[in-house]
Structure 1
Amino acid sequence: MSRAKRWKTVLPAALGLAAAGFALMRANRLPRRDVPSEPPARHRGEPPLARAASERAARNPGQSGVHLLTDGVDAFAARLLLARAAERTLDLQYYIWHGDRTGTLLLEAAFEAAQRGVRVRLLLDDNGIAGLDRVLSALNDHPNIEVRLFNPFRIRYPKAIGFAVDFGRLNRRMHNKSFTVDGAVTIVGGRNIGDEYFGAGDGALFADMDVLAIGPVARDVETDFQRYWDCQSAYPAQQILPRVGARQLAKLRSRASIVERDPSARRYVERLRSLPLVREFVAGELDFEWTEVELISDDPAKTLADLDHERLLAGKLDGAIGDPHRELAIVSGYFVPGEQGAQQLCALARDGVQVTVLTNGYSATDVALVHAGYAPWRKVLLEAGVRLFETAAQVRDAPSKKQRREGNRLGIGSRLRASGSGSFAALRSGASTIHAKTFTADRERVFIGSFNFDPRSLKLNTELGFIIHSPLIAGQVADAFETIVPDAAYAVTLGPDDALTWSCGTGSERTVQRNEPGMGSLDHLLVGVASHLSIGWLL
């Protein structure tokens, strides 16, 4: 074929591809942000929740009260009960919100609150709301509800197209999680909204962890929510989502009714009836640890550009945690230390600090690539004296495929899942998978929030959490590494031949194996290949 004929064949195809790419870029371009005037919250005297919080805070000046929510079902029930008790405001900020049982019930609770006259604001990362566009659009039409989407996609389906044409922007997400009622009571921690985050009904300490807080730090969360709500990455839903009719709200209410009657949701519904949290709180009977609590969070501008370290949560965490002298314990479902993090942890261990890390093993993680980013650093950390523990999935307790299908059928969203909630996420209720993000230092202070020890939390996603200056709580978490963790996770060590070994249990019940739990030959090959790729900054 002559050169001229070749050009006649190739040129139209090239021009067509260029035109298609240009059209996609235009379709994914964000509109100019148009924010309507916001009505003030209704003031009808001090609501019971706010009054109870004020009375208890007055007896503990300068301190905040914290109550840990380690049980998944209780963590869900606490949110739903507080939403039902709201009288003035309901501010909800989340990275992932699924349209499953728990997600449906909480959206219905938000709608019911709005019907009572409560001002409801939902600030949701747009990467984690698969299948909810129509429902959120319908809720946004309610005069007392406003929905904003953080760093939104213009191409609604499939959203992956947006990554192809605007990866630099869309790869940065809002990972914050907060649930604030009447500006007085807040829940902050590691849980998103979805069944897998509330399924650990056995009270396992590290499945996930939230903090219910009152006092000055609750007002700080309200202020921080406003900062994100007003930032230029938070777009009013009406600018992004398609308009829908009122029938979508009827569908939401119908689904919520079905979910509440479904046998598989019975434990959630029963816990709502039996958990006395709100009654005890209003009566002044709920136990709180009163102490100094600091809210730390990223500047929302982090999703627009790289920021100086001191403006990042990581920089604030460095200052708040300080330099541990005796102990540092890290719980992170996604642990990718990278060269800098590994060097810091190794230096502490060599200086005599007992550094301990609990993370997910390969069989328990829901993102296999994260394991590829973590595995290469194990020997380096172990040689320096860092203790490593890894969970392993207990598949025999996991829900069946049929149960997972039924769970989705009862929800209002899609089976498509956002990042961080992949194929193993549905196993969390029956596996030893952890999603908590907790750091303790010297048994004196503890961080609980959304920050993972990985490059994504460090550089790409916005994060939020509490520094709690409480020897009681920090000591409880640190003690778990000596009592609970050895029986619930594998201790990773170096054998005489410098090979990794995995052991679990104590005494005569201790088992030791040289093959990595849950990994076959193909898994080793894939993780090995991925670990040599330059993708650590994405994980």
Structure 2
Amino acid sequence: MWHALVLASALLASGCASLSETQRAEVSRIIDTERPTALDCDAADHCAQPSALLSQVKADDPQHHALIIDAGQDALMARIHLIRAARERVDLQTYIFDEDDAGRLVLRELIAAAHRGVKVRLLMDQLTAMKSARTLAALAGVHANFEAKVYNPVFNKGNLSYTDFAMATLCCFRRLNQRMHTKLLLIDGKVGITGGRNYQDDYYDWDAEYNFRDRDVMLSGPVTAEMAANFDAFWQSQRSVSVADLRDVAWVLRNEGVPALSTRPYDHPDRAHEMQQASNDAALLSERLGSRIRPVEGVSFVADLPQKHKRDESAAREVVAPSTHVLYGLIDSAQEEVLLQTPYLVLSDTAQELFESMQERAQPPRVVISTNSLAATDAFMVYALSHKYKRRYLRRFGFEIYEYKPHPQASPIDLVATRSLLTPEESSEREEALSLLRQKRREAWNSSARREYLVQRRLLFGSRGSPIPLEKAGVRIGLHAKSMVVDDAVGVIGTHNFDPRGDHYNTESAVIIRDRAFAAELAASIRGDIAPANSWVVAPRTRTPILPGLNYSLLKISEQLPLFDLWPLRYATSYEFVPGPQCPLPLRIGDPRFYDCYRAVGDFPEVDIGPKWFGTRVLTAFGAGLAPIL
């Protein structure tokens, strides 16, 4: 055992080693020799595309302007347009930057901006910073105006192998678990975009299997100086490492020189071309973006600092990690209503204590939660933990929980852009294939047919389909927006999921706007997501079949178990609104007529998971012990 630990320590030490001075000098020489410095433009404005979004921002103007961006296509169009309109600099900070169509399109726009003279800085979290060391090596020498860094590179590498992950989990899980979840695009220090979106197809309606219903806010005004200062704090942090200083990237540079950036064609060239054209269309930009920008008051940008990840916790948490402190303070200030939207309903101990204390008030505020159903979520295990505590959420915290459907009837998702729409004939064939697939699934549990079932399911749903099969085929939508409205007066859009990860492990940011008109618009957007066409409502069951009192007591005992929660008869289930003459409008849970207007649809509606007892046991077999990593 001792020898194994010594060997592991030796491997770890070698894996964490940084480049030697000789290696660093060699890499620097290669980059300086091969990196282009010539510009494609000699104009004073660096051939920036004319932009009404930027031209309306005046220097020293104290007025803030804001735009809620719900639609994924609008979010991508705004980013590309603003990058093209940049005259001086572009700062981009993100958790995920993929090499799919959306990622490549944005990256190529950033590089084009650098070639025309704009200073570009790209900061990515290591966990999801491109797919290969070769791509990072290409970025290291793509142009003198382009700089790329990776945040918190465990083992000083740009990409971690499965072996690296295993080793990091054993040796330095705390650091591996500390991620930069902050997201920001800042153009010329004048206009910023922040919110839930990363750089990947499924954030912009470009995935044929699964897309996120997400939300950003575009902002101009004095607060952008705070955004710039926060970006600089991360850029200058010791945890932000230039890609050329990463061991795997340096190996590519030293052995191959600066590789050419991939010229791989887009998976859907027509769609990429349409987006490129739209980003130049002044009329379309005005209709979709410019005309909807509104002046707002009371704007602040609250963002964690890299010091949140320091081992020394002596600094006040509200200083280095203000996002959690400020957001929970806003919730606590509520007098009438908290409207909260989060993809993952898993609460830290601090949050649970907060909501419980609010419920003990003489007149507790209404707390409305918009979150994912099992059928819609991209995080199966996180939902399992949320499911475990439904009784607590409803009884002790007074939550009204609405769970997003995987196929909402009215969402800001452009299904045409996903390239997933089928002709009537294709749809019929797909439904027939799905029916056969269900039959094979039933046969597969105890037979050699399981392999065939898995192959056919992959063909039908794709490699990125639901972690569990659904009753209906077609592109799936999952909630990813992180937003809040307090007392119809304060609106919040940011990156914080209001969960333990956001509290303790990730760096987060949020825009807070104390403006009733803005709050009303944001509230309307969230209320649209919880409408019956888009969400189920979670409510207590009308009765339990066996000794209700005993069942409730056993459920509470099972819920307290630290890891396993196997009691199958749950306190609550999902309900669907059934409109009619006596039920013209949706009702709140607790209304005397609620059960007359809603029908139970099961704990996991639209999930084709087999017998309910089996699904329940599988989903609730994981409990509070998983909270730190979820």
Q: TM-score, normalised by structure 2?
A: 0.70
Does residue 377 in structure 1 map to residue 389 in structure 2? yes
Does the C-alpha gap of structure 1 residues 157 and 455 become closer, same or farther in structure 2, counting only changes over 3 Å?
closer
CA contact (8 A) 1:151 1:234 kept: yes
Does residue 210 in structure 1 map to residue 216 in structure 2? yes
Amino acid at match of 2:402: F
Does the C-alpha gap of structure 1 residues 140 and 378 become closer, same or farther in structure 2, counting only changes over 3 Å?
same
CA contact (8 A) 1:50 1:184 kept: no
Does residue 29 in structure 1 map to residue 16 in structure 2? yes
Q: Distance in 2 between matches of 1:469 and 1:321?
A: 14
Does residue 335 in structure 1 map to residue 345 in structure 2? yes
Q: Distance in 2 between matches of 1:221 and 1:56?
A: 16
State the Cα distance separating 1:433 from its structure 2 match: 1.0
In structure 1, the partner of 2:204 is 198
CA contact (8 A) 2:205 2:212 kept: no
Q: Distance in 1 between matches of 2:328 and 2:64?
A: 22
Q: Distance in 2 between matches of 1:169 and 1:422?
A: 30
In structure 1, the partner of 2:377 is 365
In structure 1, the partner of 2:601 is 513
Query: Does 463-472 or 172-181 show the bigger shift?
Result: 463-472
In structure 2, the partner of 1:9 is none
Point out where structure 1 has 5 or more consecutive residues left out of the alignment.
Answer: 1-13, 409-414
Amino acid at match of 1:345: F
Point out where structure 2 has 5 or more consecutive residues left out of the alignment.
Answer: 29-36, 410-414, 421-429, 431-454, 545-570, 581-596
Does the C-alpha gap of structure 1 residues 113 and 17 become closer, same or farther in structure 2, counting only changes over 3 Å?
same
In structure 2, the partner of 1:495 is 541
State the Cα distance separating 1:131 from its structure 2 match: 1.3
Q: Distance in 1 between matches of 2:57 and 2:381?
A: 46
Amino acid at match of 1:65: H
CA contact (8 A) 1:57 1:63 kept: no
CA RMSD after TM alignment: 4.0
Q: Distance in 2 between matches of 1:83 and 1:168?
A: 36
Amino acid at match of 1:526: V
Q: Distance in 2 between matches of 1:390 and 1:151?
A: 34
Does residue 388 in structure 1 map to residue 401 in structure 2? yes
Q: Distance in 2 between matches of 1:493 and 1:275?
A: 48
Does the C-alpha gap of structure 1 residues 22 and 500 become closer, same or farther in structure 2, counting only changes over 3 Å?
same
Q: Distance in 2 between matches of 1:150 and 1:429?
A: 36
Q: What secondary structure is seen at the aligned counterpart in 2 of 1:93?
A: strand
Does the C-alpha gap of structure 1 residues 57 and 94 become closer, same or farther in structure 2, counting only changes over 3 Å?
same
Q: Distance in 2 between matches of 1:473 and 1:90?
A: 27
In structure 2, the partner of 1:11 is none
State the Cα distance separating 1:290 from its structure 2 match: 2.6
Q: Distance in 2 between matches of 1:273 and 1:87?
A: 16
The superposition leaves residues 342-389 of structure 1 with CA deviations (integer Å, 9 ceiling, x where unpaired) of 332243345330100111111221122211322222111212431001
Does residue 462 in structure 1 map to residue 507 in structure 2? yes
In structure 1, the partner of 2:237 is 231
The superposition leaves residues 89-127 of structure 1 with CA deviations (integer Å, 9 ceiling, x where unpaired) of 011100011110000111111111111011111110000
State the Cα distance separating 1:236 from its structure 2 match: 1.2
In structure 2, the partner of 1:439 is 484
Amino acid at match of 2:13: R
Q: Distance in 1 between matches of 2:497 and 2:378?
A: 14
In structure 2, the partner of 1:162 is 168
State the Cα distance separating 1:510 from its structure 2 match: 5.2
Q: Distance in 2 between matches of 1:490 and 1:224?
A: 39
Aligned residues: 502
The superposition leaves residues 212-246 of structure 1 with CA deviations (integer Å, 9 ceiling, x where unpaired) of 11111222211110011011111111111234457
Does the C-alpha gap of structure 1 residues 18 and 43 become closer, same or farther in structure 2, counting only changes over 3 Å?
farther
State the Cα distance separating 1:446 from its structure 2 match: 1.2
State the Cα distance separating 1:465 from its structure 2 match: 1.4
Pick from 292, 303, 311 the counterpart of residue 298 of structure 2.
292
Q: TM-score, normalised by structure 1?
A: 0.81
Amino acid at match of 1:126: Q
CA contact (8 A) 1:123 1:149 kept: yes
Pick from 182, 195, 209 the counterpart of residue 176 of structure 1.
182
Pick from 507, 527, 535 the counterpart of residue 619 of structure 2.
527
CA contact (8 A) 2:140 2:258 kept: no
Does the C-alpha gap of structure 1 residues 497 and 422 become closer, same or farther in structure 2, counting only changes over 3 Å?
closer
Q: Distance in 2 between matches of 1:288 and 1:482?
A: 20
Does residue 309 in structure 1 map to residue 298 in structure 2? no
Q: Distance in 2 between matches of 1:259 and 1:45?
A: 30
State the Cα distance separating 1:78 from its structure 2 match: 1.0
Q: Distance in 1 between matches of 2:369 and 2:500?
A: 17
In structure 1, the partner of 2:140 is 140
Q: Distance in 2 between matches of 1:369 and 1:477?
A: 29
Q: What secondary structure is seen at the aligned counterpart in 2 of 1:216?
A: coil
The superposition leaves residues 143-199 of structure 1 with CA deviations (integer Å, 9 ceiling, x where unpaired) of 111111100033544141333332111110000000111111111111010001111
In structure 2, the partner of 1:80 is 80
Amino acid at match of 2:502: S
In structure 2, the partner of 1:249 is 260
Query: Does 170-179 or 140-149 show the bigger shift?
Result: 140-149
Amino acid at match of 2:629: L
Does the C-alpha gap of structure 1 residues 200 and 261 become closer, same or farther in structure 2, counting only changes over 3 Å?
closer
Query: Does 392-401 or 230-239 show the bigger shift?
Result: 392-401
Query: Does 22-31 or 370-379 show the bigger shift?
Result: 22-31
CA contact (8 A) 1:87 1:182 kept: yes
Amino acid at match of 1:219: A
Q: What secondary structure is seen at the aligned counterpart in 2 of 1:66?
A: strand
Does residue 188 in structure 1 map to residue 175 in structure 2? no
CA contact (8 A) 1:190 1:450 kept: yes
Q: What secondary structure is seen at the aligned counterpart in 1 of 2:353?
A: helix
Amino acid at match of 2:541: G
In structure 1, the partner of 2:519 is 474
Q: Distance in 2 between matches of 1:151 and 1:362?
A: 32
State the Cα distance separating 1:448 from its structure 2 match: 0.5
Q: Distance in 1 between matches of 2:521 and 2:199?
A: 26
Greater relative CO, 1 or 2 (CA 8 Å, sep 6+): 1
Does the C-alpha gap of structure 1 residues 461 and 484 become closer, same or farther in structure 2, counting only changes over 3 Å?
closer
Q: Distance in 1 between matches of 2:20 and 2:616?
A: 47
Q: Distance in 2 between matches of 1:393 and 1:454?
A: 22
State the Cα distance separating 1:291 from its structure 2 match: 2.1
Amino acid at match of 1:513: V
The superposition leaves residues 421-459 of structure 1 with CA deviations (integer Å, 9 ceiling, x where unpaired) of 9959xx999333100100110011111010001100000
Does the C-alpha gap of structure 1 residues 196 and 526 become closer, same or farther in structure 2, counting only changes over 3 Å?
same
Q: Distance in 1 between matches of 2:618 and 2:198?
A: 29
In structure 1, the partner of 2:561 is none
Query: Does 177-186 or 392-401 show the bigger shift?
Result: 392-401
